Amino acid sequence: MKPKLIRWVLAHEPIDIFIRAAEKFIEVVNNKAPGRFNIEVLTLSEYSEKYNKNSNHITKHDLLNFMDDGKIEMSQMYTYVLSKYNKDLDALDLPFLFRDHDHATKVFEGEIGEKLLHGYTTNSKIKGLAFTYSGGFMNMPVNRKIQNIKELVGINVRVSNSPVAKETWKELGANPVVMDVEHITDGIKEGKIDAGESSWPRIYSCKQNEVAETILEPNHRLLLTNIIINKDFLSDLNDEDQKIIKEASIEAGRYERSVAVAEVEPTKERCKKDGIPVVKLNDTDLEIFKKAGEKIYKEFENKFTAGLVESIRTLH
C-alpha cells in the first residue's frame, strides 16, 4: 500500500524548535507505523517551491485556509489565531493563569486541554491534536533601561491579537500594538513599539537582543501553539492510525516544550554576558500586575464557557 502523504508546513520562528518537534513526530509515527506514512516537514518557502510554484505568494497567515482547503495536512498555529474558531482559547492568555509548567501540562494533557482542542473542530476543517509552549513563560524585550513595571506606562507594547492580551496592557497603562512576535525587532527599530511580549527562544533567533536594553521578566503567561491536522484527512485513517497520529502529536508537543524550556536559563545568562539586564518583577510590581489581572478576569468572566477559567485555576 502506498504511504499516506502528510505535508507538515511550518512558518513561525524560531523555526528550529518547530522543526525538531515535527521530527519527533516523524520518529514516533515511523516507530509505531513503519512505512504507512510519508511525512514531509516543509518551511513556507519549501512548500511554495514544491506545491505552490505558479500561485500567489503565501504567508503564514494563509496556512489555516490551506488546511481548510486540504492543500496541507498538518501545521502548528498560535492559539490566539485558532481562537477565531474557539473563543475559549483566549482564556489561556489570562495573566498568571498557570502556576508553573507542571500545572500547565496537567491542563493541556488532561480533560480541559482535550475540550479546548476539540472546541474548534465543529467550526472548521481543522482538528487540534496537542498543545506546545512555543517558548514557555513570556518575557519582554524593552528598548530602554527600566527597573519596574511602572516605567511601561504610556509606551507602545507589542501584543498578539488576543483581546485578553490587549486589555491586560491597557489596564497596566501601556498602549497595546498588535504585531506578530517575529516582528518585534523591526517594530522597535521603526519606532512602532518600545517593548513586546516575547519568549526566551526568540530573543536571539529573532535578533531581539539587538534592540533590547532590558529584558523584563513578568512570567505572566505562556506563548502557546497547537499542533493541528486537517480533520477530513484524519477521519479517513483507520482507528489505529488515528490513535498513532494523536500519540505522536502529544509526544512532539512534550518534546517541543522541553526544548523550549531548556533554552530559558542559558539565554538569560547569554543576555547578561552581553550586557542586557534581566529584570524580574519585585513584590510591589507583581502585586500591581496581579491586581490589574484580576480586573481582566472580571471583564472576561462571561466571555468563556462557564467554569472553564475556575477549572484551570483550581486544577492540582
CATH number of residue 210's parent domain: 3.40.190.170
Examine the domain organization and report whether 205 and 229 are in the same domain.
Answer: no
Residue 269 placed within a domain: no
Q: Report which secondary-structure segment, H or E, holds 141.
A: strand 140-142
pTM attached to this predicted model:
0.94
Both 304 and 181 in a single domain?
Answer: yes
Regarding whether 118 and 40 lie in a shared domain, the answer is yes
47 and 123, same domain (yes or no): yes
Within a domain: 34 = yes
Percent of the chain at pLDDT > 70 equals 100
**Do 120 and 159 lie in a common domain?**
no
Range of the domain at 292: 140-221+277-313
Judgement on whether residues 155 and 245 belong to the same structural domain of the protein: no
In a domain, 272, yes or no: no
What confidence score (pLDDT) does residue 12 get? 84
Same-domain pairing of 44 and 171: no
What is the identity of the amino acid at 297?
Y
**Residues 162, 92 share a domain:** no
Query: Would the pLDDT of 55 be above 90?
Result: no
Domains identified in the chain, total number: 2
Structure confidence at residue 57 (pLDDT): 77
Q: What is the DSSP string of 5-47?
A: EEEEEE--SSHHHHHHHHHHHHHHHHHHSTTSEEEEEEEHHHH
Query: Does residue 216 sit within a domain?
Result: yes
User: Is beta strand 225-230 parallel, antiparallel or unpaired with respect to 126-132?
Assistant: antiparallel
Average pLDDT value for residue range 122-148: 92
Q: Cα angle at 85 between 111 and 77, to 5 degrees?
A: 80
Q: What is the mean pLDDT of residues 260-268?
A: 93
What pLDDT shows up at residue 1?
Answer: 77
Residue 270 lies in a domain: no
How crowded is residue 115: how many other Cβ atoms within 10 Å of its Cβ? 14
pLDDT band at 9 (very low <50, low <70, confident <90, very high): very high
Instruction: Answer yes or no: do 110 and 252 share one domain.
Output: yes
Q: Are 213 and 234 part of one and the same domain?
A: no
Alpha-helix residue ranges (DSSP H) falling in 197-316: 200-205, 231-235, 239-262, 264-273, 283-299, 308-313
- Asked if pLDDT for residue 24 goes beyond 90, the answer is yes
Phi and psi at 312, nearest 5°, equal: -70, -45
pLDDT at 53 over 80: no
Output 45 or 115, whichever has higher pLDDT.
Answer: 115
What's at 10, amino acid-wise? Answer: L
Q: Does the structure show a pLDDT above 80 at 134?
A: no
Task: Tell me the pLDDT tens digit for each residue of 199-208.
Answer: 999 999 999 9
Section 163-174 average pLDDT: 97
Asked if residue 304 has pLDDT above 80, the reply is yes
Q: Are residues 123 and 150 in the same domain?
A: no
pLDDT for 201 equals 93
Per-residue pLDDT, 93: 97
Task: Specify the pairing of strand 214-217 against strand 140-142.
Answer: antiparallel
Measured CA to CA, the distance from residue 47 to residue 31 in angstroms comes to: 26
The average pLDDT across 57-74 equals 88
pLDDT digits (tens, 9 = 90+) for 207-256: 999 999 999 999 999 999 999 999 999 999 999 999 999 999 999 999 99
**Does 79 reside within a domain?**
yes
